[in-house]
Amino acid sequence: MSNIILSVKDLTKKIKSKTIVDHVSFEVKKGEIFGLLGPNGAGKTTIIRMIVGLINKTAGEVSINGYNLDSKYTQAMNQIGAIVENPEFYNYMSGYKNLLHYKRMSEKDLPNDRIYEVAKLLKIDHALKQKVKTYSLGMRQRLGVAQAILHSPSVLILDEPTNGLDPQGIREFRENLRELTKHGVSILISSHLLSEMELMCDRYAIIEQGKLIHIESMNETTNLEEDLLREVTFTTDDSEQAQKVIKEAKNIPVNVLSPTQISVSITYNEIADMNKLLVENDRKVFEIVFVKKTLEDRFLELTNQSTEVNPL
């Protein structure tokens, strides 16, 4: 069985003469959380709407768990669970009844136990008897995911799912999604919030003006071995002396940040040498801080934008 659950090839959407999505290709693997990241208007929602069959694509191919969206539409759709707009519920019915109603509409003959199973997975089992109108936004969101995965899809697709959630809600939601991946569900998620994507995704694609400009895995973003210059801060007993030692030995710029702190731009592999140099020249080194590259750094490097994307 293939490890690729969702495959998108040359997906394109034109509306009149405007190309909104331009030959976008990516793959989502089993059990991974894959992010579509990009500023407002980049085309993320349009990509998702094409994948879930809400709008027609102009060109390209989508297959979900091996089923081609064009030739095996029903089978492909059965593999998808999605929340593209805010999920709608019957507010005066309980969470359980909402899920039961949804289950009855499902093509699959699902056992009632499946309701408890998904509710437990999303940690709303304690609230199943309560009316949905009493649910917090976070709980409604989780009920939406429970509903979307009721029929055991291979891939869950979420468009900006944390919009409006508070930090605690976002955190819980993140944990819920991670839990789902442990049960083999793959997740495609879109967001313009860099920090959120950084914590949530295993891999992400950057979308800009309808084009996919880069795919990267989160470990690449924080890969310490790569040969890139980073800001490293050394806390020593004497900044002036430390600066002198480094300048004489290495002839590189040294910033004095405080009487005890200096910073230099070096690679990860040079940190140990720099420490040795300072110690051998009688400096006491108390702390070394290596500034890891964040997703925001990568985003700005790749897109050259001053950032429409909220860096929070």
Ligand X SMILES: Nc1ncnc2c1ncn2[C@@H]1O[C@H](COP(=O)(O)OP(=O)(O)OP(=O)(O)O)[C@@H](O)[C@H]1O
Contact in structure between 268 and 280 (CB atoms under 8 Å) = no
CB of 47 vs ligand X, minimal distance in Å: 7
Out of 6, 22, 37, 46, the only residue in the binding site for ligand X (CB under 6 A) is: 46
Q: Whose Cβ is closer to ligand X: residue 46's or residue 186's? A: 46
In whole angstroms, what is the distance from residue 204 CA to residue 214 CA? 8
Please pick, from the candidates 40, 71, 86, 163, the single residue that binds ligand X as defined by CB under 6 A: 40
Q: Which is nearer to ligand X, 39 or 95 (CB)?
A: 39
Binding flag, residue 106, ligand X (CB under 6 A): no
8 A C-beta contact, residue 177 and residue 81? no
- Closer to ligand X at the Cβ: 121 or 187? 187
Q: Which residue stretch of 42-50, 133-141, 177-185, 272-280 sits at the interface with ligand X (rule: CB under 6 A)?
A: 42-50
Contact segment (CB under 6 A) with ligand X among 43-51, 127-135, 138-146, 243-251 equals: 43-51
Among residues 8, 11, 42, 277, the one that binds ligand X under rule CB under 6 A: 42
- 151/84 Cα distance (integer angstroms): 17
- Residue 9 burial (CB < 10 Å; 0-12/13-18/19+)? middle
Provide the minimum distance between the beta carbon of 11 and ligand X in the complex, in angstroms, as a whole number. Answer: 12
Applying the rule CB under 6 A, the residues between 180 and 199 that interact with ligand X are 192
Cβ-based neighbour number of residue 215 at 10 Å? 14
In one-letter notation, the amino acid at residue 139 is M
Beta bridge partners of 247: none
What residues numbered 7-26 form the site for ligand X, per CB under 6 A? 15, 20
Contact between 45 and ligand X per CB under 6 A: yes
- Residue 196 and residue 185: Cα distance in Å, rounded? 20
Contact assessment for residue 307 and residue 207, using Cβ atoms and an 8 Å cutoff: no
| Binding of ligand X by 153 (CB under 6 A) | no
For ligand X, which residue has the nearest CB? 45
The smaller minimum CB distance to ligand X, of residues 50 and 218, is found at 50
Q: Structure tokens of 32?
A: 């991974």
- C-alpha closest to that of 200 among 191, 211, 213, 209: 191
In whole angstroms, the minimum distance from the beta carbon of 45 to ligand X comes to 3
Q: Which residues pair with 262 in a beta bridge?
A: 234, 256
Which residues of this chain interact with ligand X, rule CB under 6 A? Answer: 15, 20, 38, 40-46, 192
